[in-house]
Structure 1
């Protein structure tokens, strides 16, 4: 066996955010609070969609799947951040680092594709209403969701296999709050040009192309909305505004972190931008959809009222 191909790094040190000692406990409870709010908010969306028959439509089905992805993402990222708030260096094995990276990479393209599917769903509902029930039935919804998960899993496996072929002989410190692609590559002592090229191809396929489809879909949607009466226009646009807000936040941070050259960009700025789409977006998604969607608020109100009536 060729010993040069053996991974020599046993443990990885995640530096995370260099938090002053005076605010350590505050950041610890803040991260715990963010995690609880995110989990509860997304579980609420899943519960509401499952509970109410009025929400058994493709739009809310896709929203519940988005919540599932967000739960997986924050569960993958936030526990280490909570630990890092108390301990300045989070120690994890190299295999645990790759496991965290696997779930992160699995979720990101899956979410990109799911947001694209949601935009296509809105396009059919607004621009092709007569064909909507035929093209967006229960079976099609499940097929589309499964394809999102399968593509995300494919991207994750390809990245993990590529990284496993590299040699890692030190250093073993990652100046980030989770095991991301570039920080892991920086630990390699072998040529990773092929890995970078592969990542660019996958990024273009599962990030840039879906984003382009979303832009085209909304161009048609907005064009159709402007042809409607003012009352109908406001009602129809309200069903799209939440999704459009989430897309702008999510893709905006992805573009800043991965697609724009980070020459001169400090590690702190990169971490803060990464924080937006790994923690902030999963937390705010349920809030955006709940506040701007009357049907969700009505169902939530009914559940609360039924609960109070029990007592």
Structure 2
């Protein structure tokens, strides 16, 4: 410790060592990023401009789309630029900001997906009371609580990470700064950090997952009483939600709860992509663009932009 030098910047690992592979992966990630922005921007535009989509379900979808655009913008553009320029350095302040924003977006996404499960439960199982339960005030307050509590949650985890001393290697084995990668670089005792992660995972991720599963148990038991035609429609909206939630929660849990050095770097990067890039990319497709109402609203938005441009 006496001969060690305190870390003043970190070096992100990047996508690959070979230039050709870095270029290929950077272009792939960039295309995914642009597709994510386009899909979510169309959802935001359609649900804002079309009066028929001013309902609780589309209110939460609009918020989720805005969040997803922010979520994917925290990591992908910087990673692509770093990989193409081979400039892997990131300041300690920049790393802290990236960790804060990633945790914040992931936390709020957990809560929004949970509230959306409740929305589906009320719509299917308590349809007569839907306007009363899912009123505008409830939607606004739920969103505000999610956004504000996310600030506290992200600040606690970021502060708890950067109170540590980093005096060993400064190479982050990830294409962006995340908590598990930094904990493996610390020369301080990280037991309290891992304990905080486990408690947070149980309370936030575990609590959200249990709530969502219970909601869908009731939903599926109710849907089974529907006529076959309506049953298929209900399943088509619910199953994709469960799929995205499962991928999101399982991949995030594997990254944050695995023991240090328990898996190789490639596996860790793939799991990270599954919870930082895949959900924002798929959400517009499975939640909205498969919906006839939304597709019609998107078509109107596209035509309006086309004619206004001419």
Contact 1:170–1:189 under 8 Å retained in 2: yes
Matches within 5 A, 1:293-308: 293-307=291-305
Aligned to 2:42: 44
Deviation for aligned residue 1:290: 3.6
Are residues 1:79 and 2:86 paired? no
Which residue pairs with 1:56 in the alignment? 54
In structure 1, what is the equivalent of residue 92 of structure 2? 94
Whether the 8 Å contact between 1:15 and 1:84 is mirrored in structure 2 is: no
Task: Please report how far the alpha carbon of residue 89 of structure 1 lies from its aligned counterpart in structure 2 after TM superposition.
Answer: 5.0
Structure 1 counterpart of 2:192: 194
Distance 1:306 1:89 in 2: 42
1:305–1:40 distance in 2 versus 1, CA, 3 Å: closer
Alignment check: 8 A CA contact 2:197 2:256 kept: no
Structure 1 residue 130 displacement after superposition: 1.8
Answer yes or no: is 1:286 the counterpart of 2:289.
no
Residues 16 and 89 in structure 1, CA contact (< 8 A), matched pair in contact too: no
Among 166, 169, 182, the alignment partner of 2:167 is: 169
**For residues 131-151 of structure 1, what are the alpha-carbon distances to aligned partners after superposition, in whole Å with 9 as ceiling and x for unaligned?**
211111111001111111122
Of 82-91 and 40-49, more deviation after overlay is shown by: 82-91
Instruction: Give the 3-state SS of the residue equivalent to 2:225 in structure 1.
Output: coil
Query: In structure 2, what is the Cα distance between the partners aligned to 1:263 and 1:185?
Result: 11
SS in 2 for 1:148: helix
Which one of the candidate residues 254, 257, 268 is aligned to 1:256? 254
RMSD, aligned α-carbons: 2.0
Give the Cα–Cα distance (whole angstroms) in 2 for the partners of residues 217 and 149 of structure 1: 23
Equivalent-residue separation in structure 1 for 2:188 and 2:259 (angstroms): 23
> Is residue 106 of structure 1 aligned with residue 95 of structure 2?
no
What TM-score do the two structures reach when normalised by structure 1? 0.92
Once the two structures are overlaid, the 10-residue window that deviates more, 98-107 or 285-294, is 285-294
CA–CA distance in structure 2, aligned partners of residues 199 and 251 of structure 1: 14
Q: Distance in 2 between matches of 1:93 and 1:160?
A: 15
Paired position in structure 1 for 2:149: 151
Measure, in 1, the Cα distance between the counterparts of 2:96 and 2:261: 26
For 1:209-220, what aligned pairs fall within 5 Å after superposition? 209-220=207-218
Q: Distance in 2 between matches of 1:296 and 1:266?
A: 41
Partner of 2:16: 18
Please give the alpha-carbon distance, in whole angstroms, between the structure 1 residues aligned to 2:38 and 2:216: 30
Partners of 1:238 and 1:17 in 2: how far apart?
36
Per-residue deviation, 1:10: 1.0
**Match for residue 132 of structure 1?**
130
Paired residue secondary structure (2:14) = coil
For 1:189 and 1:308, how far apart are their aligned partners in 2? 57
Give the length in aligned residue pairs. 306
Choose from 269, 272, 293 the match for 1:271.
Answer: 269
